Amino acid sequence: MTSTPGDATRLFVVEQTGKIRILQNDVLLGTPFIDLSSKISYSPGGERGLFSVAFDPHFTTTKRFYVYFTNPSGDIRIVRYLVSSDPNVADASTADTVIKIAHSTYDNHNGGQLQFGPDGMLYAATGDGGSGGDPDGNGQNKQVLLAKMLRLNVDGPSGYTIPPDNPFAHDATAAPEIWAYGLRNPWRFSFDRQTSDLYIADVGQAAWEEVDVAPLSSGLGRGANYGWNKMEGKHCYSPSSGCSTTGLTLPVLEYDHSSGACSITGGYVYRGTRVSALAGQYLYSDYCSGFVKSFKFSGGAATEQKDWTTELSPGHNVSSFGQDANGDVYIMTLTGGLSRILEKP
């Protein structure tokens, strides 16, 4: 769920089955903003589908927005569309494929988040290609676009160009689209709207979930290697012991799979005005256990860790968080729940 820049009246909600719906002044509009059901692959309980929408920072002028989905073959597509003369309905005929990434072998680990960074570039997080343990070795392979954070300049009339300050823009041994690598299945990532720091929640294999933070002051993780599949969280994965962490960027927070946890769902640093106790706290959840927790990033570490599960009680299957134009944060569940976080009366 997101909003267009500066618009406090509308929320755009992405449904995995292919539609983007609009809540205008908290009322669900009957006509979808866009229906991409015929363009995607989806099966109930699976990891394919429509994942994300991101609006151009200059949307008021350009009318551009970008979606991330898996096509009928299971491959990843990032596609640009324009809004029609009706601001609540997109023009489906304006589809312009920005990038294609092969991903048909396995149906899981598709990544899926799109965000425009503070630099105006489009960031996209891809999964490692699926199965378990990264059998294709994509995490540490800088020549492929899976298991990566990508950074693209989409200001041109079509497609994308490589930002010249991308870490591998002039390196023939790596794909120039790559901003960072060594990710398993980032779900999800976001920028702190106050500090611009980048937070990445990366789903673990079988034991450890993690949150990586790339501060603006250190280049937003430019060229960072987050370790997969050498590492799972802060622990050796392949090999299972004696691995070297030299050159790796380890997470600022990890948690194990005790108490029914299984898969992290990343959120946002709270910058809204409704809940003062959450100010500056990064919120995250777990799909299986349903907890909602938070921490403050300070001095390179996760501090002031808190558990909000009792107060927020979202239930299981927390699939995503959203942020509106005012900085207020929302929690979503795969079963259809959308909840705004408010102060207790």
Q: How many CB atoms lie within 10 A of CB 245?
A: 12
pLDDT in tens, 50-75: 999 999 999 999 999 999 999 999 99
Rounded to 5 degrees, what are φ and ψ at 217? -65, -25
In a domain, 150, yes or no: no
**Share in percent of the chain as helix, strand, coil (round to 5):** 5, 40, 55
pLDDT in tens, 160-207: 999 999 999 999 999 999 999 999 999 999 999 999 999 999 999 999
In a domain, 187, yes or no: no
pLDDT of residue 30: 97
- Neighbouring-strand partners of residue 225: 181
The closest of 121, 116, 115, 146 to 131, measured between CA atoms, is 146
In angstroms, what CA-CA distances link 133 with 65, 147, 183, 203?
34, 12, 12, 12
**More confident site: 337 or 210:** 210
Confidence check: pLDDT of 345 > 90: no
Comparing CA positions, the residue from 127, 128, 113, 249 lying closest to residue 188 is 113
Asked, for residue 290, whether it belongs to a domain, the answer is yes
Within a domain: residue 82? no
> Could you tell me which residues come within 8 angstroms of residue 342 by beta carbon, excluding any fewer than 6 positions away?
274, 275
Q: What angle do CA 218, 219, 220 make, to 5 degrees?
A: 100
- Whether the predicted pLDDT of 314 surpasses 80: no
CB 267 within 8 A of CB 278: no
Q: Is residue 336 part of a domain?
A: yes
The per-residue pLDDT for 344 is 75
Separation between Cα atoms, residue 16 and residue 69, nearest integer Å: 9
255 bridge partner residues: 209
Q: Which domain holds residue 345?
A: 257-345
| CA dihedral sign, ordered 307, 310, 311, 316 | positive
Domain count of the fold of the chain: 1
Kindly report the number of other CB atoms within 10 A of residue 202's CB atom: 30
Domain assignment of residue 92, yes or no: no
| Inside any domain, residue 134 | no
Structure tokens, 213: 């933070």
Q: In this predicted structure, what is the pLDDT of residue 185?
A: 98
pLDDT digits (tens, 9 = 90+) for 284-299: 999 999 999 999 999 9
Structure-token match 């050159």, residue found: 247
DSSP annotation of 311 reads H
3-class DSSP state of 312: helix
Locate tokens 């429509």: which residue?
50
Residue 288 lies in a domain: yes
Lateral strand order in the sheet of 114-116 = 114-116, 122-125, 148-152, 178-181
